[in-house]
Each structure stands twice: as C-alpha cells, then as structure tokens.
Chains A and B, each alone.
Chain A
C-alpha cells in the first residue's frame, strides 16, 4: 500500500500560471485535507473534504480550488499562481471517526 502520495515533489511556477497538485490515497479514507506550511506559520488548512462530492473551505482558501470526484483523489488547483503561494503543501487523510491523520510527503512550490 502506498498510503498517501503527492505529485509533484517540487514545482517552480511563474506568476499567473496555473497548475494542479495531485493527492491520492489507497487507504479508503473518507476525509481528505490540504494544508500549506510556511516558516513560522505552522500548518494552515486550505480546503477539506468529508467524502466524494463534498468539499469545504478551511482557513486560507483564497486562490485555490478543489474537487473530490472519487474517494481516492483530492486535487488542489491554483488558477493563477502568485508569489504569496510559495509554500510547502501537504495532503492528509483520515478515516471517518478516526483520530490519526496521515500526511503525504509534501509538494514544495515556488512561484516566481
């Protein structure tokens, strides 16, 4: 079992470009979340989903879109990248009623 996978591991974008960060899990977990981590800011929740077809905004949703068409995948879309979106992005999953959240390895994004 791969657990939680994220692609790409590293990405450099120019301001205004769009891209999708991929997150996939084979743990059959209902809950999936996206966090960003910046120095000194901890982990901030961007968007989350409690099941296929259901998404909701977290603490810092502006500039990001998500969709959840399947249980396994939860892509994060940057429609028009900005330097302020330079960060490390983590995807995480959790089973319904579970207490432990499992994190992917992260995507390191730089926006020039």
Chain B
C-alpha cells in the first residue's frame, strides 16, 4: 500500500522558523521532493532528498531519514510571501504521488 501524512495546517510568525513533517510509505521509493503552491498557482519544485540527511537551499532546508520513512521541510526567516501550501512527494522511478499538503499561515 501507499500512505502519506503531513499536517493539514501550520501557523507561524513572520521572521520565525517552521518545520513541516512528512511520513510516507510507498513501494519503489528513491527520494523525497517538496513543492510549494501559492493560491491560484501551479506547484513549483523546492527541494529533493535522495540520501539521508539535510539539504539546504537558501532559507529552505529539507531532511530525509529513509529508515524512519520520514522527512521534513524547514523554513527559516519566514516572510509573508512564504504563505502557501507545501507538499511532500515521494519519488518513484515512474511516478510521483502527492499528499494533501500543509497550508502554512504566517502572522505579521
């Protein structure tokens, strides 16, 4: 079977740090991707973890633990423009399945 869990909503304050967790179960897994989607827009790629550990891209970092089937996205120095939905997506060789996403609300 296949399952994917992430919180439906997270709220944080501008300038703070927020972590969005993701647990997954899927066959043929080879990496975990994260996507951002603003209201009315299309999803855009943020990061990918093919190996265990932390990947950093500017204010965003992503972590993967294959043994725990767990990953997270870390957003630092939050800005109002980071208000969006964030999706973790286990990569298989042939297809990518998305979950329901996490809606990030940022308070001024």
Contacts and interface: CB of A to CB of B under 8 A. Distances in A.
Question: Are both chains from one complex?
Answer: yes
Interface of A: 31, 33, 35, 40-45, 48, 50, 56, 58-59, 90, 92, 94, 99-106
Nearest to B103: A40
Contacts of A40: 100
A42 B43 contact: no
A33 B100 contact: no
A35 B101 CA distance: 14
B103 to A, nearest CB: 10
A106 B96 contact: no
Interface string B40-61: 0011110010100000000000
7 contacts: A41-B100, A42-B87, A42-B98, A45-B95, A48-B95, A90-B42, A99-B50
Interface of B: 31, 33, 35, 42-45, 48, 50, 87, 89, 91, 94-101
Given A48-B95, A59-B97, 9 more contacts: A31-B95, A41-B100, A42-B87, A92-B96, A99-B48, A100-B45, A100-B48, A101-B45, A101-B96
B95 A58 contact: yes
B20 to A, nearest CB: 14
A106 B42 contact: yes
A72 B92 CA distance: 22
Most chain B CB atoms below 10 A, which of A31, A43, A100, A103: A43
